[in-house]
């Protein structure tokens, strides 16, 4: 089995391959709670529609091997390889992006190269990875340069437009192949590829400018193909690859990209991944669960004889791997390969792969919600087949899961004349199926520029616009064709349609037509035939709808000169001069005509009748006869012409009798001459007319009528107004009438109706006869009519045949006799005798209404300190509320009286404290005045003392004056006296006199001249404070608070010193003497 490695080495010289999944979405540990669960596949394929990304702008026809990433904003970035054929090596790499979830794509670009163009380097194997800063890193090989170098290009972007500087990493010396990159959480870019089937791994911390030394992680070198590198959320680097030497899938990991562990085999059946044919390689795909960190690897596996997609997973960082599980669910011997996988934020694993179960290449999809153990029913992603003859749709494509768990797929698609890059997502965009067809079915239609036999059914994105058109006419041979009639949506023959939310069918209706020919004999004389009312003077051809009915007409009596005409003789199909033909096939019709000449017959004046060959005519007529024929002309006399006219025959222009035979030898004219008489018709709607009859032309006559008025019924009559028609005048006999034609004299009578105006009260106007159609008015002289004192009638409006509420009614259309009746309403007055108050509701009220008597206010001020207070209602009202009495039924005039009481105000004044009792009192009642305290402090050592009441009050109690009789306004004044506090202090003993004294009071203070305290005798020495004096008795006047202190001195034996002080002095002198003697004694010893 060493043939496979040898064959691959040969193939790699001719073509550069790109490996597995085309994406490296970095796991950054986002919370799974922020993402909805992924949808499971349903019976309706979710990947609609398939959107073409490549736009045909590239100079290279074939685009394969897409790679893809989606950033946090939902922008989708896609790259691919540009090449010149289905099996050729890459020439350049391209890119595009979409900001609307793949509905539309930016113009395609070709990525820059790191080498000068003269080195003619080629590019291949594109691979994108998303960095933590949302920058897209794009790696692709640059190989086969004229200088013999091979290496890796890396550029990056955040917006898909500016890719910055291309960084180049020179390879290890061999042919670099099947690169992949990933970006760790730290921002470090890891890259892996194979050279001459040896694994190479490196990393860069500066965006690809510089790279670490190469490492070779694989333990069994020489069989590596398709290295796929990923990183975990903690920065661990994972590698998987296909070892085609042993037909196994291996895995390795490193914490830093420098130190690698022992390889782990992932497929649990040894040698189960051999690859099939030249291009169906067993390159693996790898994805990391962004929530749990679980690792998933999928690959094409041949353990069952044909290639299937198998998957395994590891939850311990790749140390151990689960049992392998098959992903595809077909039971035949079809091939499934080129797999890619993704894991969303709900830990759902998504897989897509190339599949030929339907006899062509298509992309299929499935997902697993239990870590890859079981898989959902497979779904087809691509909506159109790629032929099996396109045996190498690249070496990989891409599937990704977005932040919202939307699944995105990009793949190489051969539904056209070459490979293009297509895109779909799940859930798909809203689509509707639009069927474009024809009636009859099977005719060609052109949909978005592609012509196909109808019907053509397509699933399109809701809201997208597409062009539909048909050709017209469509030939069915020399004499038959189809022509377009209309589209069922009313559009033009070529028009755009916008896809709605429901499936729809748009039908182009066609009509089948046959070509027919119509001609006439003789020709060249200007004769015509009418085809569907259109004239033709020569042979004409027509396209007529199948089954349509057309009218052919050979107009007979076609004049070619003043006296010569041609008449229709026959149609070649045996039809009448005017008949219908049905276009069920091509028709050929010919009309034949014969010649006639004219005989013209008329009368003077015109309007009389004559007969030719026993047929009567009433106007000048031209007769067409063949030469040398005989015809009879005749006249009836007298003749009635237009109404009111008759004629008497006078003779023929050829001198013949009223009836005679004419020998027709050629064109001729005959005239019958008559004289006229006219009839005067006198009409009137009433009896008594005169003057009707026949009169010679030019006579003068008159019309008469006998009645001026004519009764028609109660309240209705006819009145003569004058003459009309051919008569004039306003008298019963008309003006003279000249009989120069039939005349009518009409006596004009106009209908008049009587208006009767009635009223139960007052005076009314307007009763009279009125012409029909005029407008009359009923009038009442006054709106108000007094009936009795306190009772009146109020005009409300008009009834009967009149309307309105004004004294003059609305207009009354006199179209019959009318009666207008004035309507009145009885009202009674409410009189309020308000006394000192003001009545608020006195006035007129409708009979039967309920009124309420009320005053503007229930309290009416009088002289100062005096007021009137409402007590109650009397008379026709009751109640005590001035704002409204009890209801008063207005069934007659009503008078309401009021009862009031007088109140006087007691005003209380006080300079201190709060007064109680001030207010209004009923006249004759008694009140008392009071303040809240009899003694009130006003400042330190000051107070006021209640002294009694004055004004209209008496008494000396603060809390209640003597009773005050409220026989008028009263004032009570509280009187107060001010007092000050005298404080008498003494150094020895006490001195009387401390207390409160009224302002201005003189107080006598007296201290003894000598006092004893604690065995010591003291002598009074004087006063200090509020008074200064050495006298033992003093008088102070209380003009404010005052403090006075009595001062004392002690009795002594020496100059007045006390015994205690003298003893202390003697003690101090004795101690000083002893100390002096001791000091003197010590000094003598020293000497």
Question: Can you tell me the mean pLDDT for 25-54?
Answer: 52
Position 27 scores a pLDDT of 32
**DSSP reduced 3-state for 1086:** helix
**DSSP reduced 3-state for 896:** strand
pLDDT at 111 over 80: yes
Question: Can you tell me the mean pLDDT for 594-615?
Answer: 92
Q: Which two tokens stand for residue 761?
A: 């009260």
Exposure string (b/e) for 650-684, b if CB count within 10 Å is 16 or more? eebeeebeeeeebebeebbebebbbebbbbbbbeb
Cis bond upstream, residue 455 (ω within 30) = yes
Q: CATH no. for residue 344?
A: 2.120.10.10
Residues 505 and 647 in one domain: no
Residue 720 lies in a domain: no
pLDDT at 473 over 70: yes
Q: Which two tokens stand for residue 431?
A: 């689509």
Question: Can you tell me the mean pLDDT for 1069-1079?
Answer: 68
- Residue 813: pLDDT band (50, 70, 90) is very high
- Residue 1065: pLDDT band (50, 70, 90) is low
Exposure string (b/e) for 373-392, b if CB count within 10 Å is 16 or more? eebbebbebbbebbeeebeb
- pLDDT for 198-232, tens place per residue? 999 999 999 999 999 999 999 988 899 999 999 99
Position 459 scores a pLDDT of 83
Position 391 scores a pLDDT of 79
Residue 1020 lies in a domain: yes
Strand order across the 610-612 sheet? 615-617, 610-612, 629-634, 660-664
Q: CATH no. for residue 648?
A: 2.60.40
Residue pair 960/974 in contact (Cβ under 8 Å)? The answer is: no
Position 12 scores a pLDDT of 29
Position 1082 scores a pLDDT of 53
User: Which range is least confidently modeled, 42-56, 82-96, 361-375, 603-617?
Assistant: 42-56
Residue 753 lies in a domain: no
Q: Which two tokens stand for residue 223?
A: 């069989």
Residues 304 and 327 in one domain: yes
Please give the residue range of the domain that contains residue 1066: 1060-1087
pLDDT at 135 over 70: yes
Question: Can you tell me the mean pLDDT for 1050-1070?
Answer: 53
Using CA atoms, how far apart are residues 1 and 992, in angstroms rounded to an integer? 140
pLDDT at 610 over 60: yes
Position 4 scores a pLDDT of 32
CB atoms within 10 A of CB 1054: 10
HEC string for 533-558: CEEECCCEEEEEECCCEEEEECCCCE
- pLDDT for 146-180, tens place per residue? 998 999 999 999 999 999 999 999 999 888 899 99
**DSSP reduced 3-state for 6:** helix
User: Which range is least confidently modeled, 242-251, 492-501, 557-566?
Assistant: 557-566
- pLDDT for 61-72, tens place per residue? 999 999 999 999
DSSP symbols for 961-1002: -S-EE-SS-EEEEEEEEEEEEEEEEESSS--S--EEEETT-E
**DSSP reduced 3-state for 33:** helix
CB atoms within 10 A of CB 853: 30
Residue pair 66/410 in contact (Cβ under 8 Å)? The answer is: yes
Position 852 scores a pLDDT of 96
Residues 418 and 436 in one domain: no
- pLDDT for 524-533, tens place per residue? 999 999 999 9
Residues 333 and 258 in one domain: yes
DSSP state, 1041? -
Position 987 scores a pLDDT of 87
Which of 340, 344, 341 shows the shortest CA–CA distance to 401? 344
Left, alpha or beta for 933 (phi > 0: left; psi -120 to 50: alpha)? Answer: beta
- Residue 1081: pLDDT band (50, 70, 90) is low
Residues 552 and 580 in one domain: yes
Position 466 scores a pLDDT of 95
Using CA atoms, how far apart are residues 48 and 37, in angstroms rounded to an integer? 20
DSSP state, 118? G
Residue 745 lies in a domain: no
Q: Which two tokens stand for residue 654?
A: 């050829």
Residues 437 and 390 in one domain: no
Residues 464 and 518 in one domain: no
pLDDT at 1041 over 70: yes
Residues 400 and 524 in one domain: no
Residue pair 403/72 in contact (Cβ under 8 Å)? The answer is: yes
- Residue 1078: pLDDT band (50, 70, 90) is low
Residue 912 lies in a domain: no
Long-range pairs for 39-44: beta carbons < 8 A, 24 or more residues apart: 39/426, 39/427, 40/367, 40/369, 40/376, 41/365, 41/366, 41/367, 41/376, 41/377, 41/378, 41/379, 41/426
pLDDT at 1087 over 60: no
- Largest distance between two CA atoms of the chain: 219
pLDDT at 261 over 50: yes
Last residue of a domain, one of 857, 872, 904: 904
Question: Can you tell me the mean pLDDT for 237-246?
Answer: 97
Residue 83 lies in a domain: yes
pLDDT at 1059 over 60: no
Using CA atoms, how far apart are residues 812 and 76, in angstroms rounded to an integer? 83
Position 48 scores a pLDDT of 85
CB atoms within 10 A of CB 44: 8
- Residue 1070: pLDDT band (50, 70, 90) is low
The number of folded domains in the chain is 8
* Helix, strand, coil abundance in the chain, percent, nearest 5: 5, 50, 45
Residue pair 84/62 in contact (Cβ under 8 Å)? The answer is: yes
Using CA atoms, how far apart are residues 334 and 308, in angstroms rounded to an integer? 8
Upper half-sphere CA count for residue 615 (Cβ side, 13 Å): 7
Position 278 scores a pLDDT of 81
Question: Can you tell me the mean pLDDT for 1036-1048?
Answer: 93
Last residue of a domain, one of 572, 595, 618: 595
Last residue of a domain, one of 382, 407, 426: 426
Using CA atoms, how far apart are residues 69 and 399, in angstroms rounded to an integer? 9
pLDDT at 516 over 70: yes
- Residue 1062: pLDDT band (50, 70, 90) is very low
Using CA atoms, how far apart are residues 253 and 40, in angstroms rounded to an integer? 32
Q: Does the pTM exceed 0.85? A: no
Using CA atoms, how far apart are residues 832 and 843, in angstroms rounded to an integer? 9
Position 2 scores a pLDDT of 31
Position 275 scores a pLDDT of 87
- Report the share of the chain in percent with pLDDT over 70: 93
pLDDT at 16 over 50: no
Residue 1033 lies in a domain: yes
- Residue 392: pLDDT band (50, 70, 90) is confident
Which of 312, 225, 303 shows the shortest CA–CA distance to 265? 312
- pLDDT for 698-744, tens place per residue? 999 999 999 988 998 899 999 999 999 999 999 999 999 999 999 99
Residues 226 and 337 in one domain: yes
Residues 167 and 237 in one domain: yes
Mean pLDDT of the residues in the chain: 90
Exposure string (b/e) for 1007-1027, b if CB count within 10 Å is 16 or more? beeebeeeeeebebebbeebb
Residue 975 lies in a domain: no
Using CA atoms, how far apart are residues 242 and 251, in angstroms rounded to an integer? 9
Position 428 scores a pLDDT of 87
Residues 586 and 605 in one domain: no
Residues 86 and 209 in one domain: yes
Position 1080 scores a pLDDT of 56
């Amino acid at each position: 089995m060493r043939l496979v490695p040898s064959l691959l080495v040969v193939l790699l010289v001719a073509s550069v391959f790109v490996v597995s999944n085309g994406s490296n979405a970095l796991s950054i540990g986002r919370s799974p709670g922020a993402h909805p669960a992924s949808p499971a596949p349903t019976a309706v394929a979710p990947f609609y529609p398939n959107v073409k990304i490549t736009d045909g702008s590239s100079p290279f026809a074939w685009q394969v091997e897409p790679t893809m990433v989606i950033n946090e904003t939902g922008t989708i970035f896609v790259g691919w390889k540009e090449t010149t054929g289905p099996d050729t090596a890459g020439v350049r790499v391209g890119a595009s992006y979409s900001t609307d979830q793949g509905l539309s794509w930016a113009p395609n670009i070709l990525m820059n190269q790191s080498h000068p163009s003269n080195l003619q380097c080629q590019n291949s194997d594109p691979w994108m990875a998303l960095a933590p800063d949302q920058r897209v890193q794009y790696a692709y090989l640059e190989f086969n340069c004229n200088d013999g170098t091979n290496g890796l290009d890396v550029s990056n972007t955040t917006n898909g437009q500016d890719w910055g500087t291309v960084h180049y990493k020179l390879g290890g010396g061999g042919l670099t192949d099947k690169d992949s990159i990933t970006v760790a959480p730290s921002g470090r870019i890891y890259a892996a590829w194979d050279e001459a089937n040896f694994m190479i791994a490196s990393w860069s911390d500066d965006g690809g400018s510089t790279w670490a030394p190469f490492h070779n992680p694989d333990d069994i070198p020489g069989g590596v193909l398709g290295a796929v590198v990923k990183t975990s959320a903690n920065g661990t680097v994972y590698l998987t690859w296909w070892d085609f030497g042993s037909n196994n899938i291996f895995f390795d990991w490193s914490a830093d990209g420098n130190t690698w562990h022992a390889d782990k085999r992932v497929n649990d059946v040894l040698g189960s991944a051999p690859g099939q044919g030249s291009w169906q390689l067993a390159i693996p795909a790898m994805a990391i669960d962004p929530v749990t960190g679980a690792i998933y690897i999928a690959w094409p596996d041949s353990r069952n004889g044909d290639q299937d997609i198998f998957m395994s997973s590891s939850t311990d960082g790749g140390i151990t791997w689960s049992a392998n599980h098959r992903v595809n669910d077909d039971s035949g011997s079809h091939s499934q390969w080129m797999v890619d996988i993704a894991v969303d934020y709900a830990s759902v694993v998504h897989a897509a792969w190339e599949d030929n179960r339907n006899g062509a290449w298509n992309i299929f999809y499935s997902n697993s919600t239990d870590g890859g153990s079981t898989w959902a029913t497979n779904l087809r992603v691509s909506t159109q087949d790629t032929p099996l003859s396109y045996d190498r749709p690249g070496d990989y494509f891409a599937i990704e899961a977005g932040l919202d768990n939307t699944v995105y797929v990009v793949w190489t698609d051969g539904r056209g004349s070459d490979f293009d890059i297509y895109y779909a997502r799940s859930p798909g965009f809203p689509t509707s199926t639009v069927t474009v067809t024809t009636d009859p079915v099977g005719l060609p239609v052109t949909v978005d520029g592609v012509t196909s036999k109808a019907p053509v059914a397509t699933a399109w994105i809701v809201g997208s616009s597409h062009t539909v058109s048909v050709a017209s006419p469509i030939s069915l041979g020399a004499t038959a064709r189809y022509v377009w009639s209309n589209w069922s949506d009313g559009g033009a023959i070529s028009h755009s349609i916008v896809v709605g939310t429901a499936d729809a069918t748009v039908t182009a209706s066609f009509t089948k037509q046959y070509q027919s020919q119509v001609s006439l004999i003789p020709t060249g004389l200007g004769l015509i035939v009418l085809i569907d009312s259109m004239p033709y003077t020569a042979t004409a051809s027509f396209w007529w709808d199948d089954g349509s009915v057309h009218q052919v007409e050979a107009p007979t009596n076609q004049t070619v000169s003043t006296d010569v005409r041609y008449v229709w003789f026959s149609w070649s199909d045996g039809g009448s001069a005017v008949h219908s033909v049905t276009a069920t096939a091509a028709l050929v019709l010919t009309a034949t005509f014969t010649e006639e000449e004219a005989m013209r017959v008329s009368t003077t004046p015109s309007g009389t009748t004559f007969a030719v060959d026993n047929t009567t005519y009433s106007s000048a007529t031209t007769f067409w006869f063949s030469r040398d024929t005989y015809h009879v002309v005749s006249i009836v006399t007298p003749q009635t012409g237009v109404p009111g006219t008759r004629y008497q025959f006078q003779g023929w222009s050829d001198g013949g009798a009223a009836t005679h035979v004419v020998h027709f030898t050629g064109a001729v004219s005959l005239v019958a001459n008559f004289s006229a008489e006219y009839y005067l018709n006198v009409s009137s709607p009433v009896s008594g007319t005169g003057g009707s009859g026949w009169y010679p032309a030019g006579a003068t006559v008159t019309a008469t009528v006998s009645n001026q008025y004519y009764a028609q019924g109660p309240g209705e009559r006819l009145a003569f107004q004058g003459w009309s028609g051919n008569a004039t005048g306003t008298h019963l006999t008309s003006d003279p009438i000249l009989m120069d034609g039939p005349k009518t004299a009409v006596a004009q009578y106009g209908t008049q109706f009587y208006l009767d105006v009635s009223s139960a009260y007052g005076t009314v106007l307007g009763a009279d006869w009125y012409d029909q159609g005029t407008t009359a008015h009923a009038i009442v002289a006054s709106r108000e009519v007094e009936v009795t004192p306190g009772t009146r009638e109020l005009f409300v409006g008009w009834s009967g045949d009149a309307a309105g509420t004004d004294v003059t009614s609305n207009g009354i259309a006199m179209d019959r006799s009318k009666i207008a009746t004035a309507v009145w309403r009885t009202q009674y007055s409410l009189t309020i005798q308000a006394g000192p108050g003001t009545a608020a509701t006195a006035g007129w009220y409708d009979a039967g209404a309920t009124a309420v008597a009320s005053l503007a206010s229930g309290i009416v001020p009088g002289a100062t300190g005096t007021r009137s207070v409402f007590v109650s209602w009397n008379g026709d009202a009751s109640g005590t509320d001035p704002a409204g009495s009890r209801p008063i039924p207005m069934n007659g005039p009503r008078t309401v009286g009021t009862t009031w009481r007088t109140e006087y105000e007691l005003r209380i004044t006080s300079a201190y404290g709060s007064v109680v009792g001030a207010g209004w009192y009923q006249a004759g009642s008694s009140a008392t005045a009071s303040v809240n305290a009899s003694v009130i402090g006003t400042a330190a050592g000051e107070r006021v003392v209640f002294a009694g009441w004055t004004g209209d009050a008496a008494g000396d109690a603060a809390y209640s004056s003597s009773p005050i009789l409220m026989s008028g306004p009263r004032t009570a004044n509280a009187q107060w006296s001010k007092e000050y506090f005298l404080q008498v202090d003494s150094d020895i003993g006490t001195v009387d006199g401390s207390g409160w004294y009224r302002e201005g009071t003189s107080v006598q203070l007296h201290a003894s001249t000598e006092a004893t305290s604690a065995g010591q005798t003291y002598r009074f020495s004087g006063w200090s404070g509020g008074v200064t004096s050495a006298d033992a008795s003093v008088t102070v006047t209380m003009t404010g608070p005052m403090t006075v202190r009595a001062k004392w001195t002690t009795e002594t034996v020496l100059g007045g010193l006390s015994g205690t002080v003298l003893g202390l002095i003697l003690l101090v002198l004795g101690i000083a003497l002893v100390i002096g003697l001791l000091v003197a004694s010590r000094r003598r010893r020293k000497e």
